[in-house]
Amino acid sequence: MDAPTKRVEIIPAKRRAMILDYLKVNGTASIGELTDAIGGSQSTIRRDLEHLTEGGYLERTHGGALLIPPLRATFEREPALNAHYQHRQKAAIGQEATSRLKGGESVIFDSSSTVIEVVRATAVRRIPLTVVTNNIEIARIGSSVPEWRVIVTGGTLRPASDILIGDPGEPFFETIHADICFTGAYAVTGQLLTDASMEVASIKRAMIRSARRTILLVDSTKFQAPAFCTFAQLSQISEVVTDGGVDPEIAAGLRASGTELTVVPLPGG
């Protein structure tokens, strides 16, 4: 008799991101539907829904859940969950964006989860780069690439994250002149780029000022109401790279405003 198949357990952050991805597509779902789509027991899914409800990601309905985009300007997803949310789209954007880099360039990588995907894609290419980052995970990836010279800016580590903010990292950007900066945004609203954190917005501003050109990497969910703090205008951005889920009207509006926009096809689409 064949041995029973061992169930592969999914870490909670990834499972909760999968729930949000499912609800983004379907709007609402019952606990049974989520169990069938994602796996795990109904009690596990129920606990995940309670966690996401308490965190403000969604509203519970009778026997299920309804996705509600957070309207609070300072709302921030848990870093571990955010890394898995829209992951296929972020990885596709990263694969596209790595082609913008040439050997011998200096590049600033900010701490967004989509930017980390271009770091992973570029590490595979093994081209020589000078890398500047305020993200410990990016520095860790870079340490495995002998062709990279990795400079970590320093600063204060944000709780429960890999992001360094404030002094001495922020003033450091006033002393360098990089070829290119890859940045993300919490929200893109018309011509505004915003973040939920004042401290993160401040270091993004410094990064953009110190680069000759900046490429914005955002998945299509980021075209939404503005977050708390503006850090740039689209006029400061050389190119926007997003995924095929972007609303066609938004894409047309960006192009009409003169923004160079690259739309990466949805994975599997």
Contacts of 247 (CB under 8 A, 6+ apart): 220, 223
Residue-level pLDDT, tens digit, the chain, 269 residues? 444 433 446 788 888 888 888 887 887 888 888 888 888 888 888 888 888 888 777 887 777 887 776 666 777 777 777 676 788 999 999 999 999 999 999 999 999 999 999 999 999 999 999 999 999 999 999 999 999 999 999 999 998 889 999 999 999 999 999 999 999 999 999 999 999 999 999 999 999 999 999 999 999 999 999 999 999 999 999 999 999 999 999 999 999 999 999 999 986 65
Inter-residue contact 204 to 110 (CB < 8 Å): yes
Inter-residue contact 220 to 246 (CB < 8 Å): yes
Give the per-residue pLDDT at 8.
47
| Secondary structure class of 232 (helix, strand, coil) | strand
Q: What is the DSSP string of 150-203?
A: EEE---EEPTTSSBEESTTHHHHGGG--EEEEEE--SEEETTEEEES-HHHHHH
CA distances for 174 relative to 1, 202, 254, angstroms:
68, 13, 30
Maximum separation of any 2 CA atoms in the chain, in Å: 68
